[in-house]
Every structure is written in C-alpha cells, then in structure tokens.
C-alpha cells in the first residue's frame, strides 16, 4: 500500500497507476484494455464535447476491517448507466462488462485503496463518451467506456455533522421531462451557477424545488433529500431527480430498522414538520441538514445543529454493511479482493 496520509485527502483527483477502457465500434463492444495514460486521444468534433453525449457513474471500494475490499451495489450502478444510455441514445454497457471492469481497475490499483482506519476510500469513476466526429446533431457511432479510480478522503473530517442548505428558486437543475433522472454531465453544468451562489452565501449546498410549480422538494445539489418524522423516512417522488442508490438503500435500511417509508411529492411547507433531514449520496452516505433557508419568503426550516438519532442510526447501519461489519442480508456488497 502507498504510504500516504489518507485521512487528509480531499475529494480531489490523484493519479493512480491504471485505468481500464473498452471501445464500441462497428456496433459492438471490444476487449477490455488496461491503460496507464491519463489522457484521451479524442477527435475535436466528438459528440461528447459538443452535444453532451456523456454519462458517468460514481461508486467506492472500501478496505474493510476483515482485510477484504468490497464494492457496494455495483449492479445498481450498471443498471443506472444502462438507463442513462437509453435516455441519451448510447449503446448500453452490460452489467457483466461493467462489473468486470470495476473489479479489474480496483485490483490493478490496490496500492491506492486507503486504510480502513483513515476513513478514506477509493472512488471509482466510470465514464462513457460518444467519440465519433460529427457536426450534425446525431448520436455518435463510436464510444469509449472507461473507468478510473482515485483515493478520496473521509467526507466527515471532524465527525458526522450537519450543514445548512438554501432553496434556489431562480434556477433549475433539470426539467420535469428532461435529463434529471440520468447521470449526465449536462445536469452538472446546469447546476454550477446555483451551486456557486449557495457557496458564496455561506451554505453547504443549493436546494432545488420542482421546476414546473416550484412547490415540491426535488434534490439538494448532487444528492437526494429525505426527511424523517413519526418514525417515517420520507423522500421525494419526482421525474427530475437522479435515482440515488444510497437513497434506495436507505429506504430499505429504514424499513429493516422498523421505520415506515414513503416516497411521494413533498410540498415545501412540509419541511416544517420534519424532525430530521438529510442529503444522501455515495460521497457522504448521509449529510445531515441543520437548516434550509428560503430567502424569498424569509422562512428557515430547522432540524437541529447536530445529526438526529435516526439519521445516525441509518448512517451507521449502511456504513456497517458497506464495510462488512454488519450482516449484508440483501447481498449488496461484492468482495473484489479477498
């Protein structure tokens, strides 16, 4: 293992030894190639550069206390990428190919998987891009699917803690029938301005309402939202949010812990009634929310300065499963290195 101060790493990019690539040409996927070059040799007219024909995924490899390395719900990431492919007319990457490439890239870079004690992990970034030279707006004929990895530090450096969010009414991340449910780079481009605005005002993240009526809760930046009240985990149902695998898992964990689960539209005013609230995604699992400000109405929805007991329980349980410390009764983890 590399001798690095893993715990001090941020969520940045660090060069590792290898990435894996697979090319789609003449209507089929080729062989998996191992590559040590960080750069792509890309045509300047590639569809990914001009028309956003690009999709990505994000998951992590965890070095566990039992010495094994596990990845979490890799088949779900493959399925979500397939859904994105159908959404923006790219050829699907099979679950088998996706999983094989994830395993391969993690094993090739095992020196770069941080220690368990550091709380850091190996972030895995699959990327699929249209590479054909084209100036007309059509789907590409050729594609490159690649996966690289980079060690990332622990999300909570000072321990599990809460952060403030701000509702942005003047910006939308995605339209009700747009690409919000697909993991494409364009959604992120659409969120940069509002995200920057939120940071400038001292908030951790921007909070979106549904684009059509500005009435219901959508997502927080690049994370799904949940609220908790009366022993019930409640998360938005919306056509413009990204189906988070963390959220899907937390819904199951909540049920396993004896909570009720509801997935339905959440009107903004309902925020007032939640005992706890949080953002969820692979990066943090849960990032508890201290308060959400609506600057237009002057309203502040508060959930306490510290993470609530149910958020803590959900967080500890999901992390315990990811690290092989709690029983994985739904078969969510895959051992990549034994």
Ligand X SMILES: *Cc1c(COP(=O)(O)O)cnc(C)c1O
Q: Using CB under 6 A as the criterion, which residues of the chain lie in contact with ligand X when the complex forms?
A: 58, 183, 219, 222-224, 242, 244-247, 281-282
DSSP state of 178: T
182-202 burial, b at 16+ Cβ within 10 Å, e below that, comes to bbbebbeebbeebbeebeeee
The minimum distance between CB 57 and ligand X, in angstroms, equals: 8
The minimum distance between CB 146 and ligand X, in angstroms, equals: 18
The minimum distance between CB 337 and ligand X, in angstroms, equals: 22
CA dihedral 167, 153, 228, 73 (to 10 degrees): 110
Element (H, E) at 135: none
Q: Which residues contact 254 (CB under 8 A, 6 or more apart)?
A: 233, 260, 261, 314
Of 87 and 304, nearer to ligand X (C-beta) is: 87
The minimum distance between CB 78 and ligand X, in angstroms, equals: 12
φ/ψ of residue 201, rounded to 5: -85, 0
The minimum distance between CB 286 and ligand X, in angstroms, equals: 10
Of 24 and 288, nearer to ligand X (C-beta) is: 288
Of 22 and 285, nearer to ligand X (C-beta) is: 285
- Matching residue, tokens 């998996």: 32
Q: Which residues contact 245 (CB under 8 A, 6 or more apart)?
A: 59, 72, 73, 76, 77, 80, 282
Strands 54-56 and 28-29: unpaired
Contact 128, 56 (CB under 8 A): yes
The minimum distance between CB 304 and ligand X, in angstroms, equals: 23
Of 164 and 281, nearer to ligand X (C-beta) is: 281
Of 7 and 243, nearer to ligand X (C-beta) is: 243
Of 265 and 304, nearer to ligand X (C-beta) is: 265
């Amino acid at each position: 293992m590399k001798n690095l101060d893993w715990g001090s790493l941020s969520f940045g990019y660090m060069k590792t030894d290898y990435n894996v690539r697979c090319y789609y040409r003449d209507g089929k996927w080729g062989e998996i190639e191992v590559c040590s070059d960080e750069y792509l040799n890309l045509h300047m007219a590639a569809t990914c550069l001009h028309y956003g024909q690009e999709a990505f995924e994000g998951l992590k490899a965890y070095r566990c206390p039992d010495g094994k390395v596990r990845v979490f719900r890799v088949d779900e990431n493959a399925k979500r990428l397939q859904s994105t492919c159908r959404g923006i007319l790219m050829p699907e990457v099979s679950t088998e190919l996706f999983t094989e490439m994830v395993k391969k890239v993690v094993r090739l870079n095992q020196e770069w998987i941080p220690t368990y004690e550091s709380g850091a992990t190996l972030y895995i970034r699959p990327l699929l891009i249209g590479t054909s030279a084209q100036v007309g707006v059509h789907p590409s004929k050729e594609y490159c699917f690649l996966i690289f990895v980079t060690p990332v530090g622990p999300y909570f450096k000072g321990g599990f803690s809460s952060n403030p969010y701000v509702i942005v009414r003047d910006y939308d991340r995605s339209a009700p029938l747009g690409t919000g449910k697909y993991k494409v780079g364009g959604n992120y481009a659409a969120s940069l301005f509002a995200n920057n605005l939120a940071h400038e005002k001292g908030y951790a993240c921007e909070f979106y309402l549904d684009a059509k009526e500005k009435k219901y809760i959508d997502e927080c930046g690049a994370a799904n939202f949940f609220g908790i009240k009366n022993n019930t985990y409640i998360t938005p149902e919306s056509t413009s949010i990204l189906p988070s695998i963390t959220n899907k898992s937390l819904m199951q964990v909540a049920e396993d812990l004896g909570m009720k689960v509801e997935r339905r539209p959440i009107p903004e005013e309902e925020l007032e009634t939640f005992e706890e609230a949080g953002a969820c995604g692979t990066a943090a699992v849960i990032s508890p929310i201290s308060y959400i400000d609506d600057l237009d109405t002057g309203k502040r929805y508060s959930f306490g300065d510290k993470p609530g007991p149910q958020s803590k329980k959900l967080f500890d349980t999901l992390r315990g499963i990811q690290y092989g410390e709690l029983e994985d009764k739904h078969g969510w983890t895959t051992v990549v290195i034994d």
